[in-house]
Amino acid sequence: MEGTGMLSDVPVKQDGRKLWQYLSTAAASILSIGVGTALAWTSPVFALLRKEESFLKLSETEESWVGSLLAIGSIVGAIPAGKIADKIGRKKTILSLAAPFLLSWTIIVFAKTVIILCIARFIVGIGVGASCVLVPTYISEIAEASVRGTLGAIFQLFLTAGIVLAFVMGSILDYTGFAVVCGIIEIIFLVCFFWMPESPVWLVGQSRKQEASIAMTILRGDVYDPSGEISSMEREVGKASSKKSSVFDLIRTSGTRKATLACLAGMAFQQLSGVNGVIFYTSQIFQDAGSSMDPDLASILVATVQMIMAGVAALIVDRAGRKPLLIISCALSSMSLVAIGVYFQLKDSGNDVITIGWLPLSSLVIFMIAFSIGLGPIPWMLTGELYTAELKGTATSLAVMVNWFLVFLVTKSFPQMKTTLGPAISFWIFAGIMGGATVFTLFFVPETKGKSMQAIQNELNGIRISKPV
C-alpha cells in the first residue's frame, strides 16, 4: 500500500521497504508448514500402519474417519477465530494456535486406539481451520499493495512445503519420530513469530495509533512516513465498525451477489478438484496403480512439484493476473484427471499397462502444477479482495466453513468412491467438475489484479467510470 509524504508541500508517493514484510509473513507462515504436515500426515502414516508389524490396524472406514475428522475440527476452529483475533489481537491469537497442534502431536505419540487418533485429528483440525483464517488475514494487513499477491501466496507455498516435509519424514522416520518432528515445527514457529510486529490495522482499530506507527516503521522502514497509510486504515476501520454485517448482506446487492458467487465457487472448485483426496491417499493411489516407482518416492516427487509451483505462483500472480491463472489451472487439472482415469480404466479392464506405467505419476505431477498456480492460492486471495472491510470478516468465515466442509466430504468419501465406482470413474467425476470450473471462471470470476477496492466494487456493481480525455 502506498503512503503519501510531503516534500515542499507537494504530495510524494512512497514505497516502503519490504524486508520486514517478508520476514513477518515467513514467520507467520511457519504455522502453515504445520498445517501442511497435518494435512499430509495420513498418507505416510496409513502406509506405516498397514505393515504387518504395525501396533494398530485400521479398516478402510476407520482410515477415512481419521483422515476426514481434521476437516470437522477445522470448521470448529475457523468459526470463532476472527472474533477472538478482533478482541485480543492477530499476533496473540496466531501464537496461541500452536497449542492445538502441540496437543494433537502429543496425543498421537501415545495413541493406542483409533478413537484416540480421531480425537487428536479433530484437535489439530481446530488449529488448522483457525490458521487458514488468521494467517492470511495477518499477511493482508501488513502487506503493501505492490506485494500483496506475492506475500499472500507465501502462505500456500509454506503449506506445500509442509506437505513435502510430511512425505519425506514419513518415509524415513517411524510413527513416533514423525509426530515428534511435527511438534518441533510448532516450537520453531513460536520462537520466530514471537518477535514479529502486531497488525497495524488491528492496532488502529483499538485506537492504539502510536503503536500502529511503530509497527508500520518496522514493516515499511524508518524513512517511511506512515501517517497517510494509517489515516486510510482509520477510514476503513471506521466504515467497518459503523456497519455490522450479517451473512444476508453477502447477497443484498448485485455486486455482493457476484462477489459471493465467485468466492464460494472458487472455494468449492478448489476442494472438488479432489486435491485433498489425492494428498491424503497419494501413497495408496500409486500402490493401486501398480506403479514401478516406490510409492513413498512418488509421493515426495508429486509434493515437491506442488511446492515449487506454489513458489512460481507467488512470483507471477501479481503479473499474470488472477483470472488467467485460474482458467489455466482448472483446464489443466481436468485434463490430468482424465488421464489418470484412463490409466485406471485400462488397468482394471485387464489391459497391459506396463508401457504406460509413467502415466499416473506424470498426470499427478501435472495436476499438482495446475492446482498450485491457480486453484490453490487464488480462491483465498479473491475472498480478501472482492469484499469491502465491513463484509470481509463475514465472507471469510463463510468461505472457510464451505471449504472445510468440502474437505471433509471429499476425504471421507474418496475411499468409498474408489471402492464403489472404481478409481477411473472417481477421477473422471473430479475431471468433469474441473471442466465446469473452467467455463465458470471464464464468465463469472472478475479480475482483481492491480485494482483498488473501489475499482473492484465499481466493476462488481456495473458502475462505469469514464476516463478523462
Asked whether this chain's domains 18-196 and 245-469 adopt the same fold, the reply is yes
Is the confidence at residue 2, as pLDDT, over 50? Answer: no
Report residue 248's pLDDT band, with 50, 70 and 90 as the boundaries.
Answer: confident
Alpha-carbon gap, residue 367 to 307, rounded angstroms: 13
Geometric angle at alpha carbon 386, from 381 and 388, rounded to 5°: 120
Those residues whose C-beta lies under 8 Å from the C-beta of residue 65, and which sit 6 or more positions away, are 114, 118, 412
What does the domain layout of the chain look like in residue ranges?
A: 18-196, 245-469
pLDDT tens string 418-440: 888 988 899 999 999 999 999 99
Is the confidence at residue 382, as pLDDT, over 80? Answer: yes
- The pLDDT of residue 466: 56
HEC letters along 279-321: HHCHHHHHHHHCCCCCHHHHHHHHHHHHHHHHHHHHHHHHHHC
pLDDT, averaged across the chain: 84
Task: Retrieve residue 175's grid coordinates.
Answer: 510413527
- The pLDDT of residue 118: 93
pLDDT tens string 303-338: 888 888 888 887 888 788 889 999 999 999 999 999
Alpha-carbon gap, residue 42 to 110, rounded angstroms: 16
Is the confidence at residue 24, as pLDDT, over 90? Answer: yes
Report the amino acid identity of residue 453: M
Task: Retrieve residue 39's grid coordinates.
Answer: 494435512
Which of 12-26, 260-274, 393-407 is predicted least confidently? 12-26
Neighbours of 375 (CB within 10 A): 26
Q: What is the CATH number of domain 245-469?
A: 1.20.1250.20
In CATH terms, the superfamily for domain 18-196 is: MFS general substrate transporter like domains (1.20.1250.20)
CB 77 within 8 A of CB 397: no
Alpha-carbon gap, residue 413 to 393, rounded angstroms: 30
CB 203 within 8 A of CB 229: no
pLDDT tens string 229-243: 788 788 777 766 666
Average pLDDT over residues 209-218: 89
Those residues whose C-beta lies under 8 Å from the C-beta of residue 38, and which sit 6 or more positions away, are 70, 101, 104, 124, 125, 127, 128, 162, 182
Model pTM? Answer: 0.80
Task: Retrieve residue 425's grid coordinates.
Answer: 470413474
Average pLDDT over residues 462-469: 62
pLDDT tens string 27-40: 999 999 999 999 88
Residue closest to 302 by CA, chosen among 40, 20, 18: 40
pLDDT tens string 76-89: 998 888 889 888 99
Buried b / exposed e across 379-410, counting CB within 10 Å, b at 16+?
Answer: bbbbbbbbbbbbbbbbbbbbbbbbbbbbbbbb
